[in-house]
Amino acid sequence: MKNFKILCKAGKARVGRLTTPHGVIDTPNFIPVGTQATVKALGPRELKEIGSQIILANTYHLMLRPGADLIEKFGGLHKFMGWDKPIMTDSGGFQVFSLGVALEHGNSKVLKGIDNFKAKPRLNKITEEGVVFQC
């Protein structure tokens, strides 16, 4: 990958640098999480002051609130967040699993022996085209 350069190797560990259109990310790196397009208690200025190079945003939560339409109206996630450095988003895979797959009939044996367990209804539907979530 031409955008990632290993700067130092020590045994199996390595220090690297990833170059993106929005900035450079040194690795390893502490990445603050902005679940709904904001890092709790810190604004973009404070994040830059403490040396943050990238923020992680949660795709599932962004789709719930504020929603893709509002983010688009602001000109994209960077402008909506007021963050001009790199943003990494997750796949939403955890929510696919946690909102239904673990409670499917075929996986119920995992839950045997748990006192007072009451299965909740599935909150998603998995198809060949993708996943549909319900509130």
What's the rounded mean pLDDT across residues 66-95?
Answer: 93
DSSP states along 55-117: EEE-HHHHHHTT-HHHHHHTTSHHHHHT--S-EEE--SHHHHHHTTGGGSGGGGGGGTT-TT-
pLDDT for 40 equals 94
pTM (two decimals):
0.74
What's the rounded mean pLDDT across residues 66-82?
Answer: 96
Please tell me the distance from the alpha carbon of residue 133 to that of residue 65, in angstroms, as a whole number: 14
Residue 106 has pLDDT above 50, yes or no: no
pLDDT for 33 equals 95
The more confident residue out of 1 and 6 is: 6
DSSP 129: T
pLDDT digits (tens, 9 = 90+) for 52-62: 999 999 988 89
36 near 44, Cβ under 8 Å?
no
pLDDT digits (tens, 9 = 90+) for 114-133: 555 556 667 788 888 888 87
